[in-house]
Amino acid sequence: MAKNHLLTKEQMKVRYPRQWLLVTDYKLDRSTRLRSGRVVASSRDREEIHRALKKHKGKLCIHFTGSLPRDTGIVF
Amino acid sequence: MSRVTYDPSASSLVVDLLLQSADGTSSLLIPVVLDTGASLTIVATEILVQLGYDPANPRLKRQRIVTGSGVEYAPRLTARSATAIGQKVTNLEVLCHDLPAESGVDGLLGINFLRRFKLTVRFRKGIIELVKERG
């Protein structure tokens, strides 16, 4: 990616479906939810995004654009 | 009022958690599951390391945790501050523990955060409200 354009969360979901993103210059709404930001790394592998964290400093955001498949349950 | 909406058909309640770094100069926003079944807030190892915390410090207390798959021990440390659903808690104890990537999250927002507020989940409408209670 030559230039990291400012994207809304909805645009990130369309451009990077079911991916983990590392986002900078982000903005939040009053309820601490991501509104927009610049995607500086994207991957289907979460570990890759965790590794990319080390190359950046300051205010960062990790965002996953997917959701759990409907046929998958979650129990912790 | 602090409120978020979510897809009512979703199988888990995912919210954003803003964690402040150990030295207060940076922060990281991560996706977490709101989990009223979790005693403590849980955050992935790499996230805490990035924020300048030291989960490998042998002097940290290790918390016994009972999970769906057995008993484990995880380092317990104090995050400078944590903010979710518009509400901020300072000096929040968190457990350092990694959840599977397939979960789509980097941690759990547990009772030690939620108990300081009035939490309302309107499952049919997909609304989560978290407000400070008076008295």
pLDDT digits (tens, 9 = 90+) for B102-131: 889 999 999 999 999 999 999 999 999 999
- B86 and A57: CB-CB below 8 Å? no
Q: Closest Cα partner for B53 from B76, B83, B84?
A: B76
- B12 and A32: CB-CB below 8 Å? no
Q: How many CB pairs lie under 8 A apart between chains A and B? A: 95
Per-residue pLDDT, averaged over B73-88, amounts to 97
B100 CB-near residues (< 8 Å, 6+ apart):
none
- Whole-complex ipTM: 0.92
pTM equals 0.94
**Closest chain B residue to A33 measured between Cα atoms?**
B16
Residues of chain A above pLDDT 70, percent:
95
The radius of gyration of chain A from alpha carbons, rounded to an integer in Å, stands at 13
